[in-house]
Structure 1
Amino acid sequence: MGVTARGTKRSSDNVKASAKKAKASNGKSVKKAESDSEESESESESSSESSSEDELDSSSDDLDSSEGESSGDELDKDEIKIDNAGEEANDEDNDEDEENKDNKPANPNKQTSQEQHAEQKKLLQERKLQRKSGVEVQHIKSLWERLRVKNPPPPKEIRDKLCDEIWKHSKDVFRDLVLKHDASRVVQTLVKYSSKERRLAITEALKTHYYELATSSYGKYLLVKLLHYGSKESKDIILSELHGKLRKLMRHREGAYVVEDLYTLYSTAEQKKQMIREFWGSEYAVFKDSGKGKSIKEVCDESSDKRTIIARNLSGTIQASVEKGSTGFQILHAAMKEYVQIINEGETREFIELLHEQFAELIHTPEGCEVACTLIAKANAKERKLIVRSLKEHAINLIKNEYGNLVVITLFLTVDDTVLVSKSFGNEFDEKFTELVVDKYARRPFLYLLNGLDGRFFSPLVQKELKHYIELSQETSKKPLENRRKELLDKFAPVFYKNIIQHINSILAENVGSQFVSELFLNSDLEDSEKRTQALNSIIETFKNDDGALLEKPFSVRLLKSLIQGGKWDSKQKKLVKLEVSGIGSEFAENFYNEIIKDSEGLTQWVENNNTSFIVVSIYESLENKKSTFFKNLKSIKKQVRAAAKDDENKGAQLLVKLAEF
């Protein structure tokens, strides 16, 4: 009955308030409501109080929700019926309760989820067939499903047959296929397995649509496939159509990847120059030959207005591309390389501000390396500090990279704050030193610290490039170049000595590692220290415990000869130049002989070996004290030395006979 028939406890005050409100509009409803209120008063003495009809509705909603009897819409309808129809609403509510108790479905025609899924799938299939070329596309896709099988792949005869059939059905509907994610893959497979003529036909069929393909999430893959498998003629068609749109594509999330592949993989040197000129501005995008044969610097020197326009266009394209996340693209690096050749001081400050956190993304290309080194050279002290900090976490990848190692050397060449540089990179290099010192590229910054831009380790081209950065840094770097290098060398020397002491076997096992050790101990800029003495002793200890493997390697013999002779060979003077360096020369020779060769028997073995006989010659030339044990032992084995000299391959023994006049 009434409200209590739905199991809801309501206060009599609220029901009376509701009844009074209803009375103003309908007298009959008032009487019914009063009847209901009297009936509910006796049953709801402990119910919570509510102050309005809204709270009454809310209470009903919460209760219905907890009991799972009906939805919110049904509740609203029931309450309207309570106000207007009284007992009829109660009867309907009771019927609903009984229906819910029996768990009978509200809709006897309701489908299962499996039936609904089947119906949706059928509807989707019908819609696909109703689209333009829908029947052809579905048939082509069924053929492609057989063609794309990889395990096992179809035999060539079947593959060619399937390609012919797909070609037959698709040659007139390419444009309907290429922008659909699954159908685009059909055309990609066709491009991969088709003949040169068919690929060209596909390229021709898609003319005027290449910009649309380049900016499509699915079409871009087909465009890259056409570039990869297409002929020179096909590539020229695509590049010609995209000419004038490259700046716009570089600002597009999908298009930027197509332009990058086009530049790095599929363009000739002349086409690359043309693509970069397009970034200069509209004049060069519309007219292909505008500015051809001239560098950007030459064009800008013709007119200050041209310089302003070109700089503005390049800056806008670069900034938009960086903000889109394309900083690592080589074509963007090429555009940056053009830009840094013409920027003024104010533009330099803005450009460094834009890139200083993303310097690590420039180092893997020659153009990016040149941009990074130029900006480092032109940066002020504060900007260099930001750049060094941004590169710190990439230190290992930076120094091991073919171009990145030049960025490290440029930092060594230009940054006055040597404490910052050593602290930023010292620990990282220390942890991987044995790996770095034997790496083709990573060792070069260390060799610079030891010997400067020595021609033995830096080609004339690299020297010219690095000297250019030194010139650019004249206005912003204050310390003399040599002072900066020696300061850094003093800070990195402990790292060198520490790793030689701990990992000498790994370092001496490689040719370049042995060469680095030789350059380190022949360096006259380093002062004597306890670590240096320990490192030299570790070398002697290594050869003392060697089973002969090291001494069979020519680079090990060269290392020992250098340390024993205590000097470097001057190719211009054609003679050995002695160095005033502690721990090497006669001192090292004496220690080496006493610790390793020791006596006449050991000396005989070293003389008879074709490789080690040269080390004995070096000891003979280095020791100044003729009363040394070495000379006494040598005199005692004259016969053995002369016998060894009879071997035509033992050049060392032959030279020793002449020196000792045996």
Structure 2
Amino acid sequence: RTQRKMASNPNYSLLQDLKALWEKARQKRLARAERQPIINRMLELSLGSLHSIIFQHDAARIVQCMIRYGSAEQREKIHAELVDHTLDLCRSKYSRHIVPKLLQFGTRAQRAAIIRQFYGHVRKLIRQRIASTVLASAFIDYATAPERKALLAEFYGPQFALFKDDAAQDVMQIVADQPTKKPYILRHMKQTLLPMLEKGLCSHLILHRALLQYLQLADGTERAEMIDNVKELLVEMLHTQDGARLTIFCLEHTSAKDRKVIVRSFKPYVIKICMEEYGYLALLAALDVVDDTVLLRKMILSEMEGSILEIAQDMYGRRVLFYLSSHRDKLYLSPQLYQSLEALDANEHTKKPMDTRRQELLAAASPMLLNLVAEHAAELCREGQTALLVKAILTNCVGDPTAAYEAI
């Protein structure tokens, strides 16, 4: 059997030797002084052959180990041998993990060299499930602001993929300077974005930012068509900052019918959304613009009820409860959040007066909030922020507060 493997794989003996060394080197409790000679030996054996073994399952972990524990000089040698294979690594089921490792432990110059390998290939990579995760990681965690703009610019069309000087500006600035390019940019962005949405590839921040830019740039029919394609997928995007901004933008600029679709998609994930750093912002926007307060009660408030204490004790979830009890009281909202909610007032699709919506939502939420205090007063009053929430609830909620006061 061994003879057959050696015959079919010229690197079989090398891999066996490397695996034996890797088993020793990967032990977490191994002292640096003991590990370094092992890493040195692994590199002696593999340098010059890395490009021919990296796409084999066993080798991927071995190379990651060498990158993690190697010296700066050794990492430079590994980088030099592998950087030209970046795109192939990204597409490999196992070897894709090597690229984030090179980015994590690499120097600024090494990171820049890897990110340059993506130039001209972003539109293809982002459509591939395996490669898109590597590209997204590079974009979020390691790319500089100019590099992010250059990567995003490839959504705008071939001109921006080939000539990076044209991509140095934000898309809004490009269109402001050259209005005739707007149809060209929108057409190419749409050609890239729609197939991704159809495949369900909507979890990556780079896509969220590109979608947001498209909607901000588009108007009329083009904007409505894209919102129609994305509305049921927003719940998968609002966990990122740009995804939350995208969700808020869609809620602001779409019809009451589409808003209902978006809110219904939240239902299975309401608890999670309440307690997300960015997700709760999208939830507040929905509570602020949707006219159908009966829908909000069924899809959002009823889901919150079973985990209301957990929400109250979470720093983001608590902000949702402050909003429900106190609306836009500046005592409980940051100036930035207050301004972002206030900006939603100008939307053309909310017909019901704000005061009416506010009173209906408060009436729907009050029993749940008063019951929270009645059942958990001792826990809530121990901490400053939750005690402040108790005050907001007792001050603003409607209904019989007797049980809540007695619990205190």
Q: 1:192 is paired with a residue of what secondary structure?
A: helix
| Equivalent in the alignment of 1:410 | 285
Q: Is the 8 A contact 1:447 1:457 kept in 2?
A: yes
| Equivalent in the alignment of 1:201 | 77
What is the 5 A alignment of 1:66-85?
Answer: none
Q: 2:323 aligns with which of 448, 455, 479?
A: 448
Residues 244, 481 of structure 1: CA spacing in aligned structure 2 closer, same or farther, 3 A cutoff?
same
Q: 2:120 is paired with a residue of what secondary structure?
A: coil
1:336 aligns with 2:216: no
- 1:468-489 C-alpha deviation (Å, 9 max, x unpaired): 2332x2x111112222112111
| Equivalent in the alignment of 2:255 | 380
Question: Separation in 2 of the partners of 1:418 and 1:154?
Answer: 60
| Equivalent in the alignment of 1:316 | 191
1:532 aligns with 2:401: yes
Q: 1:477 aligns with which of 335, 344, 350?
A: 350
Residues 186, 433 of structure 1: CA spacing in aligned structure 2 closer, same or farther, 3 A cutoff?
closer
| Equivalent in the alignment of 1:499 | 372
User: Given the two structures, how large is their TM-score scaled by the length of structure 2?
Assistant: 0.92
| Equivalent in the alignment of 2:142 | 266
| Equivalent in the alignment of 1:306 | 181
Q: Is the 8 A contact 1:412 1:484 kept in 2?
A: no
Question: Separation in 2 of the partners of 1:480 and 1:322?
Answer: 35
| Identical-residue share of aligned pairs (%) | 29
Shift of 1:452: 3.0
Shift of 1:123: 4.3
| Equivalent in the alignment of 2:32 | 156
- 1:349-396 C-alpha deviation (Å, 9 max, x unpaired): 322332222222122111110000110111211111111111011111
User: Given the two structures, how large is their TM-score scaled by the length of structure 1?
Assistant: 0.58
| Equivalent in the alignment of 1:140 | 18
| Equivalent in the alignment of 2:381 | 508
Q: Is the 8 A contact 2:60 2:95 kept in 1?
A: yes
Task: Indicate the larger mover: 383-392 or 202-211.
Answer: 202-211
Residues 273, 463 of structure 1: CA spacing in aligned structure 2 closer, same or farther, 3 A cutoff?
farther
Question: Separation in 2 of the partners of 1:182 and 1:484?
Answer: 60
Residues 124, 400 of structure 1: CA spacing in aligned structure 2 closer, same or farther, 3 A cutoff?
same
Q: 1:390 aligns with which of 242, 246, 265?
A: 265
| Equivalent in the alignment of 2:7 | 127
Question: Separation in 1 of the partners of 2:317 and 2:294?
Answer: 21
Question: Separation in 2 of the partners of 1:322 and 1:311?
Answer: 16
Question: Separation in 2 of the partners of 1:417 and 1:375?
Answer: 17
Shift of 1:134: 4.9
Q: Is the 8 A contact 1:328 1:361 kept in 2?
A: yes
Shift of 1:326: 2.9
Residues 452, 168 of structure 1: CA spacing in aligned structure 2 closer, same or farther, 3 A cutoff?
same
Q: 2:203 is paired with a residue of what secondary structure?
A: coil
Shift of 1:433: 1.9
Q: Is the 8 A contact 1:381 1:476 kept in 2?
A: yes
Q: 2:233 is paired with a residue of what secondary structure?
A: helix
Residues 513, 187 of structure 1: CA spacing in aligned structure 2 closer, same or farther, 3 A cutoff?
closer
- 1:315-351 C-alpha deviation (Å, 9 max, x unpaired): 3333333344431212221222212211223233322
Q: Is the 8 A contact 2:149 2:167 kept in 1?
A: no
| Equivalent in the alignment of 1:348 | 223
Bigger-Rg structure (1/2): 1
- 1:127-146 C-alpha deviation (Å, 9 max, x unpaired): 245x3x55544443443344
Shift of 1:415: 0.5
Q: 1:341 is paired with a residue of what secondary structure?
A: helix
Question: Separation in 1 of the partners of 2:187 and 2:385?
Answer: 47
Question: Separation in 1 of the partners of 2:312 and 2:5?
Answer: 64
Q: Is the 8 A contact 2:149 2:170 kept in 1?
A: no
Q: Is the 8 A contact 1:213 1:223 kept in 2?
A: yes
Q: Is the 8 A contact 1:177 1:187 kept in 2?
A: no
Question: Separation in 2 of the partners of 1:275 and 1:488?
Answer: 43
1:222 aligns with 2:91: no
1:277 aligns with 2:114: no
- 1:7-36 C-alpha deviation (Å, 9 max, x unpaired): xxxxxxxxxxxxxxxxxxxxxxxxxxxxxx
Q: Is the 8 A contact 1:438 1:510 kept in 2?
A: no
Residues 155, 492 of structure 1: CA spacing in aligned structure 2 closer, same or farther, 3 A cutoff?
closer
Higher helix proportion (structure 1 or 2)? 2
Question: Separation in 2 of the partners of 1:354 and 1:508?
Answer: 46
Q: Is the 8 A contact 2:380 2:386 kept in 1?
A: yes
Residues 439, 123 of structure 1: CA spacing in aligned structure 2 closer, same or farther, 3 A cutoff?
same
Q: 2:391 aligns with which of 512, 518, 521?
A: 518
Question: Separation in 1 of the partners of 2:356 and 2:393?
Answer: 18
Question: Separation in 1 of the partners of 2:241 and 2:200?
Answer: 20
Q: 1:465 aligns with which of 309, 328, 340?
A: 340
- 1:32-72 C-alpha deviation (Å, 9 max, x unpaired): xxxxxxxxxxxxxxxxxxxxxxxxxxxxxxxxxxxxxxxxx
Q: 2:121 aligns with which of 224, 245, 257?
A: 245
Q: 1:328 is paired with a residue of what secondary structure?
A: coil
| Equivalent in the alignment of 2:132 | 256
Shift of 1:122: 3.4
| Equivalent in the alignment of 2:46 | 170
Q: 2:160 is paired with a residue of what secondary structure?
A: helix
Specify every segment of 5 or more residues in structure 2 that has no aligned partner in the other structure, as ranges: none
Shift of 1:235: 0.6
| Equivalent in the alignment of 1:433 | 308
What residue identity is the alignment partner of 2:193? Answer: I
Shift of 1:503: 2.8
Q: Is the 8 A contact 1:147 1:159 kept in 2?
A: yes
Q: Is the 8 A contact 2:325 2:366 kept in 1?
A: no
Shift of 1:493: 1.3
Q: 2:362 aligns with which of 471, 474, 489?
A: 489
| Equivalent in the alignment of 2:243 | 368
Q: Is the 8 A contact 1:412 1:485 kept in 2?
A: no
Q: Is the 8 A contact 1:356 1:387 kept in 2?
A: yes
Q: Is the 8 A contact 2:25 2:38 kept in 1?
A: yes
What residue identity is the alignment partner of 1:429? Answer: M
Question: Separation in 2 of the partners of 1:376 and 1:532?
Answer: 34
- 1:471-525 C-alpha deviation (Å, 9 max, x unpaired): 2x2x1111122221121111211222233223322332332232122223333xx
Question: Separation in 2 of the partners of 1:163 and 1:535?
Answer: 65
Specify every segment of 5 or more residues in structure 1 that has no aligned partner in the other structure, as ranges: 1-120, 543-662
Q: Is the 8 A contact 2:247 2:282 kept in 1?
A: yes
Question: Separation in 1 of the partners of 2:388 and 2:13?
Answer: 71
Q: 1:189 is paired with a residue of what secondary structure?
A: helix
Question: Separation in 2 of the partners of 1:496 and 1:236?
Answer: 51
- 1:284-325 C-alpha deviation (Å, 9 max, x unpaired): 111122142x33223224455422222222233333333444
Task: Indicate the larger mover: 202-211 or 319-328.
Answer: 319-328
